[in-house]
Amino acid sequence: MTITLNDTVKLIKEFDNFLILTHRRPDGDTLGCAGGLSQGLRELGKTAYVLPNPETTPRYMQLVEDYLAPENYIPQCIITVDTATLDLLPENALKYADKITICIDHHSSNTLYAKYTYLDAQGACGELVYDILIALSGSVSAKTAGHLYAALSTDTGCFAYANTTAKVLQTAAHLIEAGAPHREMNKAFFRTRTRSRVKIEGALFSEMEFCFNGTVAIATITRAMIEQSGAVEDDLDDIASLPGSIEGVVVGITIRELTSERDCKISVRSSPSVNSNEICAHFGGGGHAMAAGASVYGTTGEIKERLNLILSEMMIK
């Protein structure tokens, strides 16, 4: 069932020991929320840990490294953050699938899998966590603020994406006032590129395909491209935003090979005139109206064919 902010706060007050779960291929929002919520709960005298996520990259490990749960930790309350569906949980979290007490999320595609779901379609899940902590204690520490600033800034592309609302900016301002190291984070997350990142960006742009009179751009990232560029997971962070940055493009799609040629992930970014969530729903995925994704079984060529049919039916011109 869905619950309100006040309901969520009352529920959290009832427990003392928490375990927080993040989603597969974790980004700054899910990890920033997990770290910020853990720190905030600890400052309230509660015990809070984050379940280690095996896919956490060095880029974001700083957000959760102080909160990783020890083996055999038994929580009273299990919380997921920024996770719309159960199939987004990493493998080591699946054993908790039927034990999740609270889901805190901002995705309209949320399947309401938790016992209680605090769902609010704000710009970033970090906003929801901030609101919860403010309701619980009236303030956040500088350490908590840093984690939540990372959540907001990474999910909004340093406040450049369409999900940047007035409230996002207001929350970011409050976090900066609370001591979030915004300058350092902006430099690290948005103004620093490795050579491997530059190489794979070049390969992505050179192989990009355009269709529907240039309104759709499809980029493919193969395992061979990753190997040749020397890119690691951190180098691929937010790379899905690049196709949509090209003039005239309404829908930017990135297809990435994962463990094999038939194990792929698609990421869709779009303007308001096209629903990204609707596109990804055809593949069993979801997300937001202007940013969504899905895991897909099939070769990149097969996926492109399916995408062309879907886009044709949506009358992209």
For 205-221, how does the pLDDT look when each residue is reduced to its tens digit (9 = 90+)? 999 999 999 999 999 99
Find the mean pLDDT for residues 258-281: 93
72, burial (CB in 10 Å: exposed 0-12, middle 13-18, buried 19+): exposed
Q: Residue 265's CB: how many other CB atoms inside 10 A?
A: 20
Q: Tell me the CB-side half-sphere exposure of residue 287, using CA atoms within 13 A.
A: 26
Q: What's the pLDDT at 315?
A: 59
In three-state secondary structure terms, 278 is helix
- Which residue ranges does the chain devote to CATH 3.90.1640.10? 5-190
Contact of 268 with 109, CB cutoff 8 Å: no
pLDDT band at 317 (very low <50, low <70, confident <90, very high): very low
Q: What is the average pLDDT score of the chain?
A: 95
Q: What is the pLDDT of residue 162?
A: 86
pLDDT at residue 313, rounded to an integer: 86
Contact 288, 108 (CB under 8 A): yes
Cα–Cα distance measured from residue 216 to residue 118, given in angstroms and rounded to the nearest whole number: 35
Whole-angstrom distance, CA of residue 187 vs CA of residue 193: 10
Q: Quick one: average pLDDT of 260-265?
A: 92
Residue 209 CB coordination number (10 Å):
12
H-only helix segments in 14-106: 28-43, 58-61
The mean pLDDT of 191-201, rounded to a whole number, is: 94
Q: How confident is the model at residue 286 (pLDDT cuts 50, 70, 90)?
A: confident
Share of residues in the chain with pLDDT > 90 (%) = 92
Q: Which of 180, 108, 178 is nearest to 150 (CA)?
A: 180
pLDDT at 287 over 90: no
CA distance 127 to 124: 6
For the whole model, what pTM was predicted? 0.87
The CATH code that applies to domain 195-313 is 3.10.310.30
pLDDT at 314 over 60: yes
Which residue intervals of the chain bear CATH 3.10.310.30?
195-313
User: How far apart, in whole angstroms, are the C-alpha atoms of residue 18 and residue 136?
Assistant: 15
Q: Token match 């990232």: residue? A: 221
Separation CA 257–CA 261 (nearest Å): 6
Domain covering 5-190, topology: inorganic pyrophosphatase (n-terminal core) (3.90.1640)
Q: What is the radius of gyration, based on Cα positions, of the chain?
A: 19
- In this predicted structure, the answer to whether residue 85 has a pLDDT above a threshold of 60 is yes
